[in-house]
Structure 1
């Protein structure tokens, strides 16, 4: 299923512009800094800590025209299907920031290409997320959890066993002080 590509709406067309304005990042900090701060606020929760400590930052971009958009609210299934079909893509799970959100940490799944550029088959057009932070997951680890309307692997299927997931990914758990900075 694909959606028609539309240009992003102007920022002042949010359904509740006053509310949205309150959630726009302070221009003295980058959206990635906002995202990391939001993850740090939830550091007591293992999935947030895993992504904050071991995740990589990614910048948003429009979905390249050679990929199709998938259904909304199915980001893990969309990204998993795309990575399964295209050997040059890797599957990523983590968090992103969006305009006008009550939270700066929205769980999300997407892909990256060989140059670590975002290929997001769910939010790939229009009003894009401001920043992404995530961990590349092997498809065999993600497969049981990358279903439509799921919460994915990190924040869903393996949320209660982050130490095992960290070990499978080659990360020490709990993170050592030098990793936690």
Structure 2
């Protein structure tokens, strides 16, 4: 039997995936995007490649960085701790503290799929997104990779490079 904490996390995981599916459905119904593209939207890309990552408290040697700058914070932290295998990750995070509302967010992940979030304290209860292995794709100007259409367009239009996404984390069902 699941504990109350894990039942809540399971429910929040469903909230996040259902939110992404709902937005992908809106894109489809309104015929946004190009049906010839590999993905009509970042929501479709996340449904195909998104993974859940394991939240944990930020390690004491990783600094808390400014709120509202998650994309830049994640890139800065991934570069600073790259020798530990840290990757930039982006997608949606959700917590009971935010009334269970999925929020676009960026964080870092370790090779075992554990989250290192340099921005949020406390960390979210659920992290769902993609870990990006290629530092050339990490958005170093403060914007996001998936949340910025111009930056995301080549990923939507063209097939993703086979080695672009890390295989860490747990696939959704």
In the alignment, structure 2 segments of 5+ residues that lack a partner are: 1-6, 28-40, 165-171
* Whole-angstrom distance in 2 between the partners of 1:58 and 1:162: 22
- TM-score for the superposition, normalised by structure 1: 0.68
* Whole-angstrom distance in 1 between the partners of 2:89 and 2:67: 17
* Whole-angstrom distance in 2 between the partners of 1:129 and 1:63: 11
Corresponding pairs, count: 143
2:94 equivalent in structure 1:
97
1:153 equivalent in structure 2:
145
- Which runs of structure 2 are paired with 1:138-177 in the superposition (5 Å)? 138-142=134-138, 145-148=139-142, 150=143, 152-156=144-148, 157-164=150-157, 166-169=159-162
1:79 equivalent in structure 2:
74
The structural deviation recorded for 1:103 is 7.0
Other structure's SS at 1:109 match:
strand
Q: 1:50 and 2:45 equivalent? A: yes
The structural deviation recorded for 1:164 is 4.1
Render the CA deviation track for 1:145-173: whole Å, top value 9, x for unaligned.
Answer: 3433x2x01111423444246523569xx
The structural deviation recorded for 1:42 is 0.6
The structural deviation recorded for 1:114 is 2.3
CA contact (8 A) 1:110 1:121 kept: yes
In the alignment, structure 1 segments of 5+ residues that lack a partner are: 1-25, 172-179
